[in-house]
């Protein structure tokens, strides 16, 4: 590849770092096993990208996805929301709290956008591209297209939830998508990690170790 071609490829590529926040790391309210292990890998990966975007779960207190908002319900139960099945979670990533902050070891000074999701009280949001009603866009797709960023590398937390939904929506939106597996960790409930990797592979996501 020529130097000009390599430069052109870099200019159309973006790294999307999904939800590397305190509440998803050990000690957090909704910790992903070994979640903080992604931090060093993300930092290394980000050094190779001019364009980096961070996503941030950003729930208001009393969000409808919190079990605490439904008397008598417990975390990890499922309810029927107006938009379909919704898992109930422990209160996490509440706006303005330490749990919602990015992991303090994250070093991506060139990040050009922080996309906050899940801030609508009545709709949860796993994907960086669409809310869980599958209709309400976050605006990320339009931002990427406007900037000419069509080659995406995804990493972060958790592989089998927010990373999965983001990757599938990116593919549906016509983007080329890679998953940097070393910079991801999953929850893996009842085989959910294997199912997520299979679903992404079927959708055309390129999975790299």
The residues that bridge with 54 in the sheet, in sequence order, are 17, 114
Of 25, 93, 155, 162, which is the active-site residue?
A: 162
Q: Residue 19 catalytic? A: yes
HEC string of the chain equals CCHHHHHHHHHCEEEEEECCEHHHCCCCCCCCCCHHHHHHHHHHHHCCCCCEEEEEECECCCCCCEHHHCCCCCCCCEEEECCEEEECECCCCECCCHHHCECCCCCCCCEEEEEEECCCCCCCCCCCCECCCCCCECCHHHHHHHHCCCEEEEEEECHHHHHHHHHHHHHHCCCEEEEEEEEEECCCCCCHHHHHHHHHHHCCCEEEC
- CB of 134 closer than 8 Å to CB of 51: no
Of 117, 124, 155, 184, which is the active-site residue?
A: 117
- CB of 57 closer than 8 Å to CB of 32: no
Q: Residue 184 catalytic? A: no
Of 19, 36, 57, 160, which is the active-site residue?
A: 19
Residues forming the active site: 19, 117, 162
């Amino acid at each position: 590849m020529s130097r000009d071609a390599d430069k052109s490829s870099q200019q159309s590529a973006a790294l999307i770092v999904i939800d590397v926040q305190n509440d998803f790391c050990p000690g957090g309210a909704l910790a992903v096993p070994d979640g903080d292990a992604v931090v060093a890998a993300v930092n290394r990966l980000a050094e190779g990208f001019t364009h980096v975007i961070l996503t941030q779960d950003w729930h208001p207190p009393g969000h409808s996805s919190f079990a605490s908002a439904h008397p008598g319900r417990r975390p990890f139960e499922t309810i029927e929301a107006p938009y379909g099945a919704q898992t109930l979670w422990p209160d996490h990533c509440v706006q303005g709290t330490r749990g919602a902050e990015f992991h303090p070891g994250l070093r991506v000074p060139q990040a050009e956008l922080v996309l906050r999701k899940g801030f609508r009280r009545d709709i949860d949001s796993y994907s960086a591209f669409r809310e869980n009603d599958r209709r309400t866009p976050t605006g990320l797709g339009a931002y990427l297209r406007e900037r000419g960023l069509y080659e995406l590398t995804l990493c972060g937390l958790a592989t089998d939830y927010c990373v999965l939904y983001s990757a599938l929506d990116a593919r549906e939106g016509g983007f080329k998508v890679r998953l940097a597996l070393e910079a991801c960790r999953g929850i893996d409930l009842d085989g959910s990690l294997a199912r997520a990797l299979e679903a992404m592979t079927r959708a055309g996501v390129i999975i790299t170790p």
